[in-house]
């Protein structure tokens, strides 16, 4: 009787030890790689966003792994809206993200603990343009001609698609009350396509999307351009310092031609919160557009 009980206990202990070893082994495997979640939002078609960012993330994975001597895996998360993208960073659902300036300011206001890793370089500069466009056969030739016309904006949280374009219109004597109608269409490509289709008299979108639509045959013409600050890559609060620094070093040194071609940038530059003060001013003064 004693021997049978002892044998049974021994079997239970051996089984428990095996389960413990399997658990430990799986835990080691689970932590063998550093998994980083990278967030963006769909300013263009989600499929286009993946094509644009996956090559850069692949390069980052390889170079980060070498730099910190640990395998790094970067997953890509595309939020369906600007707001959801900001919420994902602020909540810590993603470890780092690429936002437009207005979304960065929104996130920074919600959580001052987020930090700029680097900013994108456009022809060696932190500045690129937004465009106000009309159909190529439109009689509209200047912003002043938009009085009494319909206008397509982008996302309500978009830097170019809302804040800077509305600031530019206001500076040139056009407010919301002087437009016949206006609507927020969400993505830059939707704005350009709607204007080209004659659904709106004019619209605001980023220069890169405008040029892409022209190459596809869209019948559009620019009547104005205005400057914007290039997009920042941002870390969540409390990202481990060695990961933050490794990301920063890797981005600032990134010269891979294929990855940069997909991103349509020529590299990265050091950035600071002060770079986005002009956007803060546009956001602060935005209510004037609706007066």
What fold is seen in the domain 127-229? D-Maltodextrin-Binding Protein; domain 2 (3.40.190)
Out of 6-15, 164-173, 185-194, least confident range: 6-15
Q: Return the percentage of the chain with pLDDT > 70, whole number.
A: 88
pTM of the model: 0.76
CB proximity list for 157: less than 8 A, separation 6 or greater? 82, 83, 86, 102, 103, 106
| Mean of per-residue pLDDT scores for the chain | 89
Please give the pLDDT value at position 30. 46
Pick the CATH number of 34-125+231-282 from 3.50.50.60, 3.40.190.10, 3.40.50.150, 2.40.30.10: 3.40.190.10
48 contact partners, CB below 8 Å, separation of at least 6:
189
* pLDDT of residue 75 exceeding 50: yes
Higher pLDDT: 12 or 149? It is 149
Give the residue-averaged pLDDT of 116-137: 95
Average pLDDT value for residue range 261-286: 94
Q: Which has more confidence, 80 or 257?
A: 257
List alpha helices for 69-215, DSSP H.
82-90, 101-110, 165-171, 188-196, 207-215
pLDDT at 8: 45
As a whole number of angstroms, the distance between CA 252 and CA 25 comes to: 37
pLDDT at 230: 94
7, pLDDT greater than 50: no
In this structure, how many other beta carbons lie within 10 angstroms of the beta carbon of residue 7? 10
pLDDT given for residue 45 in this prediction: 77
Question: Has residue 204 got a pLDDT over 90?
Answer: yes
**HSE-up of residue 30 (Cα within 13 Å, Cβ side):** 6
**71 has pLDDT over 70:** yes
* Residue-range domain boundaries for the chain: 34-125+231-282, 127-229
pLDDT tens digits along 154-180: 999 999 999 999 999 999 999 999 999
Whole-number pLDDT of residue 23: 52
Paired residues of 41 in beta bridges: 79
Helices in the chain by DSSP H: which ranges? 2-30, 46-68, 82-90, 101-110, 165-171, 188-196, 207-215, 241-252, 257-263, 277-285
Q: What is the pLDDT of residues 207-254, one digit of tens each?
A: 999 999 999 999 999 999 999 999 999 999 999 999 999 999 999 999
Kind and range of the H or E element at 225?
A: strand 220-229
The predicted-structure confidence for 24-68, as pLDDT tens digits, reads as follows 444 433 454 899 999 998 777 778 888 899 999 999 999 999 999
Q: Do domains 34-125+231-282 and 127-229 have the same CATH topology?
A: yes
pLDDT value for 26: 47
pLDDT band at 11 (very low <50, low <70, confident <90, very high): low
> What six digits make up the tokens of 182?
């206006």
């Amino acid at each position: 009787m004693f021997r049978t009980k002892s044998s049974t206990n021994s079997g239970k202990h051996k089984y428990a030890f095996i389960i413990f070893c399997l658990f430990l082994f799986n835990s080691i495997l689970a932590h063998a790689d550093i998994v980083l979640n990278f967030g963006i939002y769909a300013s263009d078609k989600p499929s286009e966003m993946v094509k644009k960012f996956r090559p850069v993330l692949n390069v980052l994975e390889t170079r980060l792994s070498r730099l910190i001597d640990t395998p790094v895996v970067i997953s890509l998360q595309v939020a369906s809206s600007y707001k959801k993208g900001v919420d994902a960073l602020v909540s810590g659902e993603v470890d780092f993200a690429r936002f437009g300036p207005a979304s960065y300011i929104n996130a920074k206001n919600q959580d001052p603990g987020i930090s700029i890793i680097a900013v994108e370089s456009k022809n060696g500069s932190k500045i690129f343009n937004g465009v106000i466009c009309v159909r190529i056969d439109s009689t509209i030739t200047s912003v002043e001609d938009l009085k009494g016309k319909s206008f397509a904006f982008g996302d309500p949280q978009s830097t170019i698609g809302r804040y800077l374009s509305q600031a530019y219109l206001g500076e040139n004597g056009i407010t919301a009350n002087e437009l016949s109608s206006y609507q927020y269409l969400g993505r830059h490509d939707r704005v350009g396509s709607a204007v080209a289709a004659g659904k709106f008299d004019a619209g605001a979108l980023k220069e890169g999307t405008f040029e892409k639509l022209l190459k596809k045959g869209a019948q559009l013409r620019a009547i104005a351009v205005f400057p914007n600050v290039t997009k920042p890559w941002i870390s969540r609060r409390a990202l481990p310092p060695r990961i933050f620094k490794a990301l920063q070093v890797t981005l600032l040194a990134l010269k891979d031609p294929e990855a940069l071609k997909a991103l349509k940038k020529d590299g990265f530059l050091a950035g600071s919160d002060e770079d986005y003060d002009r956007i803060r001013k546009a956001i602060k003064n935005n209510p004037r557009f609706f007066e």
